[in-house]
C-alpha cells in the first residue's frame, strides 16, 4: 500500500489565487487567458512560469474530485455544454465538450498522441504554417509529456473490452497498440468520462492550472466573457459576467490587459471573435469535429463488463493516412450507452439487457470537409456541419472493419450505429450500406477544431503561425481552433504542445 | 436535439401548430409536485414518450415508476435560459401537428400501437427536422431512464465506486487523495 503524499494547496478552491466574485469585478493584468482547457491552462502556466502577470478566466465552474460522484445523472449536467445534448445544427452529430476549470481534459479518456511528423509537415507544406515542424515543437512537446506524466498503458491495465478488440485484431491480421495516457497510479475505476474522483487522471485542472497558480497566476472560475472591446487593432478590454458559486448571483466583469489569449475551444473561441467583430472572414470557417460512429458487439455468453477498467485502452491507426480513420476501443455508462444506441422500445431494452455482454469500439474519421461556427440572434453558437459523402465513406470503411473484427473475436452480432438488423455474417458486412443522412445514424464528436485556423496568408487563415489573430496586435488564440486541418487523433497533447510553443514566443514588451 | 437550431428551423411549422393549440388544446392537470421546466401538457407528452421509448420489460422497471418525465424536467431546468424555448416548441410541434406523423389525432390521443407508429413516423421522416426532434426525445428518455440506479441491477452494472469501494489508504471518499504526479510542480529538465 502506498503512502499518500500531501494534497496540493493549489488544487483547493479556497486558495486565495482562486477568485470568488462577490460583487462587480474590474481586473487589470498583463495577460488575460480566456479558457482553462488543454490550450488555455497550458498557455497561462507557461507565461506565469516566465514571470508574466496572468489572469486565467473560465466560464465553467471549478469542479474538484469532492464533487465527482461517478454518477452520470449528476456529472453529465455538471460538466457538459447544454446538459450534454448539444448537436450540430442538422441534429446529426452529438457534440460533447466540457465547461469547467480544466475544460474537456477533465472528462476525456486521457489518450495522448504526440502530433505526428507527417501532420506537421502537411500543415507546413499545404497550409503555409511556419515554424511548427517536428523539430520546432520537440521541446514543447517533451515538456507537455513531462508535466502530464504521459506513459503507455501497461498490459495489466488493459480492460476486457479492449482485449476483445485485441483478439479480433489479431485474428484478422491487422496491427494495433495500447494508448499512451496521462494517468498516474490509476485505480482502474473506469469513470474517467465523469471526472476522476481520485485525481489519478492528470487533467489540466490538477496539473497545468495549479502549476500556473504556483507561479502566481490567478484563476477566475465562472467568468464568462461576452465581448472583446478594441481600439483600432488593439483589444483593450474583455467584458462579461462573473458568477458567485456560493450565492449564485452574477456580477459585471471587466478585464483590461496588454494581451488577450482566447482558448475557449473551437466552438466558443470563434463565437467570441464573431460577437466582438474581430478578425477576418476566416473566423468560424473550416470547422472539423472527428465524427465518431460506434459498434456494439454482443459477445454471447462471454461476460465483458466493458465499463470496468480504463475505458479506452487500444487502437488501430494504420489506416489514418491513406483511408482517414482510426479505430479505438470505448465504452460508457448505461445512460450514455442507451442514449447513443440507435434503438428504442423493446429493441433498446433487449440490447441494454445484454449490457454486460457488450463490447464496443468506434471509428473516428479525419474529416476532410468542414463546416462553420456562426452566432445566432441570441448570441449563442450554431454548428453548421454535415457529414460529407466522402467523409461518410471513411466511416463506412471503418464500420466494416470493426464489424469484421468483432465477428472474428466471437461476436454473435455487431450493432451498427443505425436502426435495423445487426451484422451477423461476412455476407452482412459485404452488403453493408449505411444511410449517413442526418439523424439516421448515431454520430458523436468529442474533438472540435479548425475554426480559427493558422497560416501566414490571411485569405485562408484566421491567425498566424504564432496564434495571433489577423487584423489585431495583441489578440491570440491557443486551442484546437488553430489546427489547419482535422488531425484524426485525440488532440489534447497537440493542443498543449502548440500552446506551449505559442507561449514561448511571447516576450516583453508585448506587441500592443 | 440541437436546441440551438430547432427554434428557427421549426418556425414555419409552429405557425401551423399554434392553431390546434389555440382551438382545441385540452387542459392538463398539474402533477402533484412542482414542475420546473415542463408545463403540465409537456409533462404529459414526455411521460408518454418515455412509456414508448423505454417501456420496461426484461425485468426492467417501467418508466412511470422511476418518474422519468419528472427527472427529465429536472435535467432540462438546468438549461441556459437562452436555449429553453426550443424544447418547449419541439414538444408542442410533436403532439399538436399529427399530420407530420401521418396521423389524425395528437400523440396523446394515440393508443400504444398508434403512439409507436407516431414515433416511428418521426424517426423515419423524410424531413430532417422531424428526425432531429425524434432523436432529441429518444435520447432524453433513454439517458434519464438508464441513469436511474433502479435500472442497474438487471444490467449487472454495479454503479459508482464512490461510497461503495474503499480503494486503499482511506480513499473511500473523494477529497482526500494524494498528489501522485511528481512532475506537476517540477522544473522541466530542458
Q: pLDDT digit string (tens) for A448-457?
A: 999 999 999 9
Same domain, A233 and A334: no
Q: Chain-wide mean pLDDT for chain A?
A: 95
Same domain, A262 and A407: no
Residue A105 pLDDT level (bands cut at 50, 70, 90): very high
pLDDT of residue B171: 54
Cis preceding-peptide flag for A424 (omega within 30 of 0): no
Residue B180 pLDDT level (bands cut at 50, 70, 90): confident
- Give the model confidence (pLDDT) of A231-259 as tens digits: 999 999 999 999 999 999 999 999 999 99
Whether residues A149 and B1 touch (CB distance < 8 A) is answered with: no
pLDDT of residue B3: 45
Least confident of A64-78, A462-476, B22-36: B22-36
Same domain, A315 and A454: no
CA distance A303 to A284: 46
The domain locations on chain B are 3-155
- Give the model confidence (pLDDT) of B65-116 as tens digits: 999 999 999 999 988 777 778 889 999 999 988 888 888 899 999 999 999 9
Of A65, A91, A378, Cβ closest to residue B177: A65
The verdict on residue A332 lying in a domain is: yes
DSSP state, residue A380: -
CA distance A101 to A195: 12
- Give the model confidence (pLDDT) of A155-194 as tens digits: 999 999 999 999 999 999 999 999 999 999 899 999 999 9
Residue B6 pLDDT level (bands cut at 50, 70, 90): low
Has residue B5 got a pLDDT over 70? no
CA angle B146, A347, B1 (to 5 degrees): 60
Tally of domains within chain A: 2
Q: Which residues of A445-481 are buried (b: 16+ CB within 10 A; e: fewer)?
A: bbbbbbbbbbbeebeebbbbbbbbbbebebbbbbbbb
Same domain, A243 and A259: yes
DSSP letters for A218-250: EEETTEEEEEEEEETTEEEEEEEEEE-TTT--E
The verdict on residue A12 lying in a domain is: no
- Closest by CA to A164, choosing from A412, A487, A429, A405, is A405
pLDDT of residue B166: 78
Same domain, A481 and A432: no
The verdict on residue A378 lying in a domain is: no
pLDDT of residue B26: 62
Helix axes B84-96, B128-147, angle to 10 degrees: 110
pLDDT of residue A6: 53
Same domain, A211 and A114: yes
C-alpha cell recorded at residue A23: 460583487
Has residue B21 got a pLDDT over 70? no
CATH number at residue A138: 3.50.50.60
pLDDT of residue B29: 84
Q: Is the dihedral of CA A80, A82, A83, A87 positive or negative?
A: negative
Give the position of cell 503555409.
A128
Same domain, A275 and A210: yes
Residue A84 pLDDT level (bands cut at 50, 70, 90): confident
Same domain, A248 and A306: no
Same domain, A323 and A348: yes
pLDDT of residue A511: 58
Which residues on neighbouring strands pair with residue A240, listed in sequence order?
A: A225, A253
Same domain, A228 and A136: yes
CA distance A401 to A398: 5
Nearest residue on chain A to B117, alpha-carbon basis: A345
CA angle B129, B133, B135 (to 5 degrees): 115
pLDDT of residue B144: 97
Could you count the other beta carbons within 10 Å of the beta carbon of residue A327?
Answer: 27
CA distance A214 to A8: 10
Instruction: Indicate whether this complex's ipTM tops 0.90.
Output: yes
The verdict on residue A495 lying in a domain is: yes
The verdict on residue A274 lying in a domain is: yes
C-alpha cell recorded at residue A306: 466493458
Whether residues B139 and A339 touch (CB distance < 8 A) is answered with: yes
- Domain enclosing residue A415, as ranges: 155-181+292-366+387-437
Same domain, A271 and A138: yes
Has residue B35 got a pLDDT over 70? yes
Residues 43-102 of B with CB under 8 A from A: 52-60, 71, 75-76, 78-80, 82-83
Mutate to test the interface with A, among B73, B86, B142 (most CBs of A within 10 A): B142
- Residues written for chain B: 190
The verdict on residue A475 lying in a domain is: yes
- Give the model confidence (pLDDT) of A264-297 as tens digits: 999 999 999 999 999 999 999 999 999 999 999 9
Last residue of a domain, one of A437, A467, A495: A437
Residues 19-48 of B with CB under 8 A from A: none
Residues of B in Cβ contact (< 8 Å) with A77? 75, 78
SS3 B60: strand
pLDDT of residue B168: 67
CATH number at residue A349: 3.30.410
Whether residues B136 and A85 touch (CB distance < 8 A) is answered with: yes
Whether residues A187 and B52 touch (CB distance < 8 A) is answered with: no
For A166, A172, A178, A311, B174, the CA distances from A175, given in Å and listed in that order, are 9, 9, 11, 20, 39
Q: What is the mean pLDDT of residues A377-383?
A: 91
Same domain, A49 and A105: yes
Q: What is the mean pLDDT of residues B9-21?
A: 45
CA distance B64 to A264: 40
Amino acid at each position: 500500500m502506498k503512502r499518500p503524499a500531501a494534497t496540493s494547496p493549489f488544487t483547493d478552491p479556497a486558495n486565495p489565487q482562486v477568485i470568488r466574485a462577490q460583487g462587480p469585478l474590474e481586473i487589470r493584468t498583463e495577460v488575460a487567458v480566456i479558457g482553462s482547457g488543454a490550450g488555455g491552462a497550458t498557455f497561462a502556466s507557461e507565461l506565469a512560469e516566465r514571470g508574466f502577470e496572468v489572469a486565467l478566466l473560465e466560464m465553467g465552474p471549478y469542479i474538484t474530485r469532492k464533487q465527482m460522484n461517478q454518477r452520470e445523472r449528476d456529472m453529465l449536467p455538471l460538466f457538459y455544454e447544454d446538459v450534454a445534448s448539444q448537436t450540430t445544427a442538422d441534429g446529426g452529430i452529438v457534440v460533447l465538450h466540457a465547461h469547467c476549470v480544466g475544460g474537456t481534459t477533465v472528462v476525456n479518456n486521457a489518450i495522448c498522441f504526440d502530433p505526428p511528423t507527417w501532420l506537421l509537415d502537411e500543415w507546413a507544406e499545404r497550409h503555409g504554417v511556419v515554424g511548427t515542424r517536428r523539430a520546432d515543437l520537440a521541446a514543447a512537446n517533451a515538456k507537455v509529456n513531462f508535466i502530464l506524466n504521459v506513459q503507455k498503458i501497461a498490459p495489466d491495465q488493459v480492460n476486457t473490452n479492449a482485449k476483445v478488440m485485441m483478439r479480433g485484431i489479431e485474428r484478422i491480421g491487422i496491427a494495433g497498440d495500447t494508448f499512451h495516457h496521462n494517468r498516474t497510479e490509476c485505480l482502474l475505476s473506469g469513470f474517467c468520462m465523469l471526472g476522476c474522483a481520485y485525481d489519478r487522471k492528470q487533467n489540466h485542472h490538477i496539473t497545468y492550472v495549479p502549476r500556473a497558480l504556483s507561479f502566481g497566476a490567478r484563476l477566475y472560475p465562472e467568468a464568462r466573457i461576452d465581448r472583446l472591446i478594441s481600439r483600432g487593432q488593439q483589444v483593450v478590454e474583455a467584458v462579461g459576467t462573473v458568477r458567485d458559486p456560493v450565492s449564485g448571483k452574477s456580477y459585471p466583469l471587466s478585464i483590461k490587459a496588454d494581451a488577450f489569449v482566447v482558448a475557449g475551444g473551437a466552438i466558443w473561441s470563434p463565437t467570441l471573435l464573431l460577437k466582438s467583430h474581430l478578425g477576418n472572414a476566416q473566423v468560424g470557417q473550416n470547422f472539423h469535429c472527428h465524427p465518431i460512429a460506434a459498434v456494439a458487439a454482443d459477445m454471447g455468453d462471454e461476460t465483458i463488463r466493458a465499463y470496468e477498467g480504463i475505458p479506452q485502452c487500444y487502437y488501430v491507426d494504420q489506416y489514418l493516412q491513406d483511408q482517414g480513420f482510426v479505430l479505438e476501443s470505448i465504452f460508457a455508462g448505461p445512460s450514455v450507452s442507451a442514449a447513443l444506441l440507435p434503438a428504442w422500445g423493446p429493441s433498446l431494452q433487449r440490447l441494454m439487457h445484454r449490457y454486460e455482454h457488450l463490447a464496443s469500439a468506434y471509428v473516428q474519421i479525419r474529416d476532410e470537409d468542414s463546416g462553420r461556427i456562426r452566432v445566432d440572434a441570441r448570441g449563442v453558437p450554431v454548428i453548421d456541419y454535415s457529414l460529407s459523402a466522402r467523409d461518410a465513406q471513411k466511416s463506412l470503411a471503418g464500420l466494416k472493419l470493426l464489424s469484421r473484427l468483432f465477428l472474428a473475436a466471437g461476436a454473435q452480432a455487431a450493432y451498427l450505429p443505425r436502426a435495423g438488423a445487426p451484422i451477423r455474417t461476412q455476407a452482412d458486412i459485404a452488403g453493408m450500406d449505411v444511410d449517413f443522412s442526418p439523424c439516421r445514424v448515431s454520430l458523436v464528436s468529442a474533438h472540435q477544431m479548425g475554426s480559427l485556423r493558422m497560416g501566414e496568408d490571411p485569405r485562408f487563415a484566421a491567425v498566424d503561425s504564432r496564434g495571433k489573430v489577423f487584423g489585431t496586435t495583441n489578440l491570440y488564440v491557443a486551442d484546437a481552433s488553430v489546427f489547419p486541418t482535422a488531425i484524426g487523433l485525440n488532440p489534447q497533447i497537440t493542443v498543449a504542445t502548440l500552446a506551449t510553443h505559442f507561449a514561448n514566443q511571447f516576450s516583453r514588451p508585448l506587441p500592443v | 436535439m440541437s436546441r440551438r437550431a430547432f427554434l428557427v428551423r421549426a418556425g414555419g411549422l409552429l405557425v401551423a401548430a399554434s392553431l390546434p393549440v389555440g382551438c382545441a388544446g385540452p387542459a392538463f392537470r398539474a402533477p402533484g409536485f412542482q414542475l420546473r421546466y415542463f408545463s403540465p401538457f409537456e409533462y404529459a407528452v414526455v411521460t408518454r414518450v418515455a412509456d414508448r421509448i423505454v417501456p420496461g420489460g426484461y425485468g426492467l422497471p417501467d418508466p412511470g415508476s422511476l418518474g422519468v418525465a419528472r427527472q427529465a424536467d429536472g435535467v432540462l431546468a438546468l438549461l441556459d435560459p437562452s436555449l429553453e424555448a426550443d424544447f418547449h416548441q419541439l414538444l408542442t410541434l410533436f403532439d399538436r401537428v399529427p399530420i407530420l406523423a401521418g396521423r389524425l389525432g395528437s400523440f396523446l390521443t394515440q393508443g400504444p400501437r398508434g403512439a409507436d407508429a407516431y414515433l416511428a413516423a418521426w424517426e423515419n421522416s423524410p424531413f430532417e427536422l422531424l428526425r432531429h426532434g425524434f432523436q432529441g426525445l429518444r435520447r432524453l428518455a433513454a439517458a434519464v431512464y438508464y441513469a436511474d440506479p433502479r435500472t442497474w441491477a438487471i444490467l449487472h452494472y454495479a454503479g459508482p465506486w464512490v461510497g461503495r469501494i474503499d480503494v486503499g489508504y482511506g480513499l473511500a471518499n473523494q477529497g482526500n487523495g494524494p498528489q501522485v504526479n511528481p512532475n506537476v510542480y517540477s522544473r522541466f529538465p530542458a
